[in-house]
Amino acid sequence: MRIERRRSSVFAALLTGALCAHGNARAADEAGSRPGADWQSWRASTDVTNTASLQRGARNFANYCLGCHSLKYVRWSRMGEDLAIPEALLERHLLPPGDKPLEYIATSMPAADAEAWFGKTPPDLSLMARARGKDYLYQFLETFYIDPTRQTGANNLRLPTTAMPDVLSELEGLKRAVYRNVEKRGEDGRVTTQQEFDHFEQVVPGRLSTEEYDSFVRDTVNFLDYAGEPSQVVRRSLGVWVVLFLLVFTWLAWLMKREYWKDVH
Ligand code: HEC
């Protein structure tokens, strides 16, 4: 298995500059430990009209996800047009060698190998944002933690016992899940002690700071949201024009009505 990473820095500089931090109250927590008990309420808060974010997301996808996942309903050329990525840049930095812009975004990993390695074929991600919702994707990519009992060495809060390895650990670092004991009274009145997830503890730092990693994930989720419905950007901007047209038309109709009725009163 080979995961393409070499292009990331060049593409970053060319297209969008350094990763920008979105500023997130949660991320600004004390170094080393991150609160997490509220992880189920974390929101992706992405903006699909932010082209720079989508460009960074496309770069992230090509470098860190395409090794295993495809986007089989999106063509490279269409993506390039929607995200304002010039064809030369697209071919030089994003397209895998041998792929053509008109082709669909396909992973080079054979499904049978993936099945053998992971026990599951990595799903196509074209419709994942629509199927699961972008908050789910955000929580999924933010809640990987070390788990020596798993074959991949990692586990996930959003998708427990996931077959997906913690592929972003190089950027995020490694974190451990810390649990607390909670006493629960069962239906029979007996008190039992259960372990509940409490927070994450950073064990090994990654290449990115917490804020940078957070932006990285948001851009990636934003891109997957775009991929789920590539025409949503056009549809929304078209909507503004339609509403403007209706307003102008209403005004004209009102003027005309006034003109027609002015002699009647
Ligand atoms: C090394 C291979 C590999 C890479 C690289 C990889 N994944 Fe996965 N991914 C998997 C496998 C295997 C599964 C199936 C997991 C399961 O069903 O337990 C999966 C599942 C998923 C799912 C579905 C989760 C669900 O609820 O069913 C999402 C979303 C996902 N990956 C996103 C990503 C993103 C985003 C990236 C890039 C940052 C990425 N993956 C990189 C192997 C990979």
**Does residue 215 belong to any structural domain of this protein?**
yes
How far does residue 254's CA lie from ligand 1's centre (Å)? 56
| The pLDDT of residue 6 is above 80 | no
Query: Are 92 and 127 within one domain?
Result: yes
- From 63, 68, 208, 222, give the residue whose CB has the most ligand 1 atoms within 8 Å, as the site to mutate: 68
Query: Are 219 and 261 within one domain?
Result: no
**Does residue 197 belong to any structural domain of this protein?**
no
pLDDT for the residue 134: 96
**Does residue 186 belong to any structural domain of this protein?**
no
Query: Are 226 and 262 within one domain?
Result: no
- Per-residue pLDDT, averaged over 174-198, amounts to 89
| The pLDDT of residue 185 is above 60 | yes
How far does residue 94's CA lie from ligand 1's centre (Å)? 19
How far does residue 191's CA lie from ligand 1's centre (Å)? 38
Query: Are 254 and 216 within one domain?
Result: no
Q: Which ligand 1 atom minimizes the distance to the CA of 114?
A: 12
Lowest mean pLDDT among 29-33, 94-98, 146-150, 239-243: 29-33
Query: Are 36 and 155 within one domain?
Result: yes
**Does residue 49 belong to any structural domain of this protein?**
yes
Query: Are 64 and 111 within one domain?
Result: yes
Query: Are 42 and 154 within one domain?
Result: yes
Query: Are 131 and 247 within one domain?
Result: no
Percentage, residues of the chain above pLDDT 70: 86
The pLDDT-based confidence of 17 (bands split at 50, 70, 90) is very low
Query: Are 105 and 57 within one domain?
Result: yes
Query: Are 215 and 246 within one domain?
Result: no
Task: Quick: pLDDT tens for 200-214.
Answer: 999 999 999 999 999
How far does residue 133's CA lie from ligand 1's centre (Å)? 15
**Does residue 68 belong to any structural domain of this protein?**
yes
More confident call, 106 vs 14: 106
CATH for 109: 1.10.760.10
pLDDT for the residue 243: 94
| The pLDDT of residue 136 is above 90 | yes
pLDDT for the residue 265: 64
**Does residue 219 belong to any structural domain of this protein?**
yes
Number of domains composing the chain: 2
pTM of the model: 0.81
* Ligand 1 proximity of 150 Cβ (cutoff 6 Å): no
pLDDT for the residue 36: 78
* Ligand 1 proximity of 137 Cβ (cutoff 6 Å): yes
More confident call, 243 vs 265: 243
SS3 string, the chain, reads CCCCCCCHHHHHHHHHCCCCCCCCCCCCCCCCEEECCCHHHCCCCCCCCCHHHHHHHHHHHHHHCCCCCCEEEEEHHHHHHHCCCCHHHHHHHHCCCCCCCCCEECCCCCHHHHHHHHCCCCCCCCCHHHHHCHHHHHHHHHCEEECCCCCCCEEECCCCCCCCCCCCHHHHEEEEEEEEEEEEECCCCCEEEEEEEEEEEEEEECCCCHHHHHHHHHHHHHHHHHHHCCCHHHHHHHHHHHHHHHHHHHHHHHHHHHHHHCCCC
**Does residue 116 belong to any structural domain of this protein?**
yes
How far does residue 246's CA lie from ligand 1's centre (Å)? 44
Query: Are 144 and 247 within one domain?
Result: no
pLDDT for the residue 237: 78
Query: Are 241 and 218 within one domain?
Result: no
pLDDT for the residue 1: 41
- From 134, 164, 169, 220, give the residue whose CB has the most ligand 1 atoms within 8 Å, as the site to mutate: 164
**Does residue 154 belong to any structural domain of this protein?**
yes
Rounded Cα distance, 115 and 38, in Å: 33
Domain that holds residue 136: 8-165+210-230
